[in-house]
A and B are shown apart, each in its own frame.
Chain A
Amino acid sequence: DTGVSQNPRHKITKRGQNVTFRCDPISEHNRLYWYRQTLGQGPEFLTYFQNEAQLEKSRLLSDRFSAERPKGSFSTLEIQRTEQGDSAMYLCASSSTGVQPQHFGDGTRLSIL
């Protein structure tokens, strides 16, 4: 069990640029989740996949955001035309099916200049 891995750990970009983050879940987990966390707040749910199917999306996931999990293994989260308000920690989690806790990676911190 190597844990949930997220890359990069930090991303600094200019407003208007596109960014992509990667998440590698725990290998035997078929569910994968994306959250966003801002300073002083708890994580906020963005979306989740079961295998390659995206089953749920939050209203927070605007049209500029897209997530994929093409082969049911790793996932990517892309933000197009980044805005100042996108600055946050983006967390990925994974779990098995059923009543199982979600296990989080260490996140990607996005800073928009």
Chain B
Amino acid sequence: DQQVKQNSPSLSVQEGRISILNCDYTNSMFDYFLWYKKYPAEGPTFLISISSIKDKNEDGRFTVFLNKSAKHLSLHIVPSQPGDSAVYFCAAIIYSSNTGKLIFGQGTTLQVKP
């Protein structure tokens, strides 16, 4: 039962262009969503998050959009830089149930070409 899905295993974009990474979820009880970036041989690094009561959150070059009716979120990176090349995971949690369990998607490998 994959509650969080990232259907694109990989994405390649040109430096300076926009990268859009997508994530779908099935559990309407999720109330908080997060994006992590992972380089090889390192642990996931927190990037940006969004509460379910919002539809957009922005932090520098990173913006996360949440569409609750479609159970879909996306991460926009503008402009993309070669250093953004990494695996990106979306994750979701039901904070209101006092769980500690983040549920992750399978990840999308982003390659930004110079």
Q: Does B41 contact A (CB under 8 A)?
A: yes
CB neighbours of A55 from chain B (8 A): 98, 100
Q: Does B86 contact A (CB under 8 A)?
A: no
CB neighbours of A40 from chain B (8 A): 106-107
CB neighbours of B46 from chain A (8 A): 101-104
Q: Does B85 contact A (CB under 8 A)?
A: no
Q: Does A74 contact B (CB under 8 A)?
A: no
Q: What is the size, in residues, of chain A's interface with B at 8 Å between Cβ atoms? A: 26
A-B Cβ contacts below 8 A, count? 58
Classify chain B: how many residues form its interface, as a range. Answer: 20 to 34
Smallest Cβ-Cβ distance to B32: which chain A residue: A99
* B44 x A45 contact (CB < 8 A): no
Asked, given contacts A41-B106, A99-B32, whether A104 binds B43 with beta carbons under 8 Å apart, the answer is yes
Q: Which residues of B contact A (CB under 8 A)?
A: 4, 32, 34, 36, 41-46, 49, 51, 89, 91, 95, 98-107
